[in-house]
Amino acid sequence: MLCIYHESTDPYFNIATDEYILKHIQEDCFMLWRNDNAIIVGKFQNTLSEINYEYVKEHNISVVRRLSGGGAVYHDLGNLNFSFTESGKDTNLSDFEKFTRPIIEVIRSLGVDARFEGKNDLVIDGRKFSGNAAHIYNNKILHHGTILFASEMRNISEALRINPVKYIDKAVKSVPKRVTNISEHLKNPITLEEFAKKLMDHVLSTYPNARLYEFTEEDKKKIQKLRDEKYATYDWNFGKSPEYNFKKAVRTGGGLLEMNLEVKNGLIEKAKIFGDFFSEKGIEDIENALTNVHHEEKNLREILSKFPIEKHFRNINVDDLIAAMF
């Protein structure tokens, strides 16, 4: 087994790395890695319905869709992620307890009673500190999970908070659960880096033929290409979202503004605008201009900036319209 300390904290690069080791490195792998502030959404989720868009934008939080299913999770540098890739028969691959066992063993060695609970969670005193997901490719599995060690809990709750009225869709929803950091339960405090070393040492000593591995320059070039062409793109992170209806009302200087959007594969198929505002030129041209456009702020802002918005909405500006669409 190849054991990798992955030093990158770029969320797009790191999620691309998971796919790369699954599909292009033949040996089984274990990898430890961290992401700078990011929301990682499950493969089958509606991205926009999982995030607090205003908070994510204000705090420059990356949003990345992963290969595996499951719910959305928040990553920061206080969270340690782990990945296993392993070959075998399909029926034996998806064993969440097996892949999380090393994590539980290391935490218990620190005097904390960590347990596997439910389908894919690790808990301490009933509070979740690790969520896990898996993706099978041919006869190989990618199993990855989070380990909340010293994450900012406020950011977790704010970044993933969403108004359920905004979105009506058939996507898989994340289920909120009480969470905790491992560091809060340690009688003898250690740093995240020290914890990561203990975990890596444990895997190296437990798995036959386990040895450290560093990505080659060729590996890094291929991962970068996958990052740029897939994981850092709008089409992958937002366009893969299922069909959904979006509805939001905002108060503006010109009155109430309500936006209703029908979105499929990330494209707005129909836009209807309601409210008690006044208009000189009407709003039909605006509604038509918003169709067949990605439900993405930059594109929408460019389109709206081409119109004399004050003529279509008295005392309402482009920022107001954008606020009503996210």
The ranges assigned to domains in the chain are 2-239, 244-323
Residues of the chain where predicted confidence (pLDDT) is lower than 70? 89-93, 161-177
Contacts of 72 (CB under 8 A, 6+ apart): 39, 40, 41, 42, 45, 50, 51, 160, 174
Determine the topology of domain 2-239 in CATH.
BirA Bifunctional Protein; domain 2 (3.30.930)
Q: What is the pLDDT of residue 173?
A: 55
Q: What is the pLDDT of residue 245?
A: 87
Contacts of 110 (CB under 8 A, 6+ apart): 186, 188, 190, 198
pLDDT tens for 31-64 read 999 999 999 998 878 788 788 888 999 999 999 9
* Residue 224 contacts residue 230 (beta carbons within 8 Å): no
Instruction: Give, in degrees to the nearest 5, the angle at Cα 73 between 232 and 109.
Output: 120
Q: Which CATH number fits domain 244-323: 3.40.640.10, 3.30.390.50, 3.50.30.40, 1.20.1260.10?
A: 3.30.390.50
What is the pTM (predicted TM-score) of this model?
0.79
pLDDT tens for 130-179 read 989 888 888 899 999 999 999 998 888 888 866 555 555 555 555 556 88
Distance in angstroms (rounded) separating the CA atoms of residues 139 and 141? 7
Strand pairing of 114-117 and 167-169? unpaired
* Residue 119 contacts residue 54 (beta carbons within 8 Å): no
